[in-house]
Structure 1
Amino acid sequence: MTVNVTPHLNFRGEARAALEFYRSVFGGDLVVSTYGDLGAAQDPAEADLVVWGQVSAPGGFRVMAYDVPAALPLSRGEDPFFVSVRGGDVAELTDLWEGLAKGGTVVQPFGPSAWAEAYGMVKDRFGVTWVLDVVAG
C-alpha cells in the first residue's frame, strides 16, 4: 500500500487565487471544480467558489484547497499548521522560497542552519506558513 499526504487548505473566497499562485511557484497542473459545476451552491453568489481544487507538479508537489461556504464557520486560528517543502537542491528551493515570499512575510530567512544546508519559514500572502529546507545528506 502507498500512502501520500497532501495539505488541504481552507479559504474563504481565495482558494482559486491561492491555487493559481502556488501553481506559479511550483508549476504543474491546476484542476478546479466549483460549487456551481457540481450543482452544490447553497447560495447562488457562491457558485463560482472552489469546492475542490488541486495543484499537482511532476516533481511530487501537491496541494489541495477549497472555499468554505459562508454558512459554515472558518477559523484559521494562530498558526494552525505549517506546510513543509523538503528537497535536496538549495538552488531549486531558493527559487520556490522567492516565489512564496512575494507579497508575504519572512518569519525565518532562508539560509544555512544548524540542522540543514538551508532552512527558512515564510507566511505567504494568503496567510499560509511554509517551511522550506534542504534534506541533510
Structure 2
Amino acid sequence: MKAQATPYFTFNGNARDALEYYKEVFKGEIITCQTYGEADFDTPKGADDRVMHAQFKKDALFFMVSDSFPGQDVELGSSISLALELDSLEEIQNYYSLLKEKGTTLMELQDTFWGATYAKVKDPYGINFTKDQ
C-alpha cells in the first residue's frame, strides 16, 4: 500500500482560476477536472460549474483541488503551507518571482542562519508557499 499525505485545497468557487494560475506558475498540468454538474448526484443550485475534484501535477509536485458548495464558505488559514523543495537557486528565484507577482510576500527571499535560501509567499488564493534549498 502506498502511504503518503497529499495536499487538498478547497476554494470558494475559484478553484478553476487557481488551477490555471498554478499551471502558469509551475508549468504543470491539470490531470483531471470534474465539475459538480458532471456528478451522478443532485447538486445545489449554482454548483454545476464548480470544481468537484481536480488533480495538478508538475514532476513531484502533486495536489488536489475542489470548490465548496455555494453557501459553504471556506475560511482560508495560515496553519498549512506547501514547502517547495527545489534543486537550484535559479528555480527558487523563478518561483519566488512568479508567486509574488500576484501574491503577498510574507518573508523576502534570503539566505538564512540555518543555511537555506528561503522565502514565504501567500498566493492570490490564500495558499502559503515556502521555498527552500
CA distance, structure 2, for counterparts of residue 74 and residue 90 of structure 1? 34
The match for 1:115 is 114
The match for 2:51 is 50
Structure 2's unaligned 5+ residue stretches are none
TM-score normalised to structure 1 length: 0.86
Correspondence list, 1:79-118, <5 A: 79-118=78-117
Give a deviation string over 1:22-56, Cα, whole Å, max 9, x none.
11111222021100111345223110100001111
Correspondence list, 1:19-38, <5 A: 19-30=19-30, 31-38=32-39
The match for 1:12 is 12
Moved more, 35-44 or 22-31: 35-44
Structure 1's unaligned 5+ residue stretches are none
Give a deviation string over 1:36-79, Cα, whole Å, max 9, x none.
1113452231101000011111x211121110102435322x41
Moved over 3 A (4+): none
Indicate the RMSD between aligned Cα atoms, in angstroms.
1.7
Q: How many percent identity over aligned positions?
A: 25
CA distance, structure 2, for counterparts of residue 99 and residue 44 of structure 1? 36
3-state SS of paired residue (1:108): strand
The match for 2:40 is 39
1:80, CA displacement in angstroms? 2.6
TM-score normalised to structure 2 length: 0.89
Q: CA 1:60 to 1:73, structure 2 compared with 1: closer, same or farther past 3 Å?
A: same
CA distance, structure 2, for counterparts of residue 93 and residue 40 of structure 1? 43
3-state SS of paired residue (1:45): coil
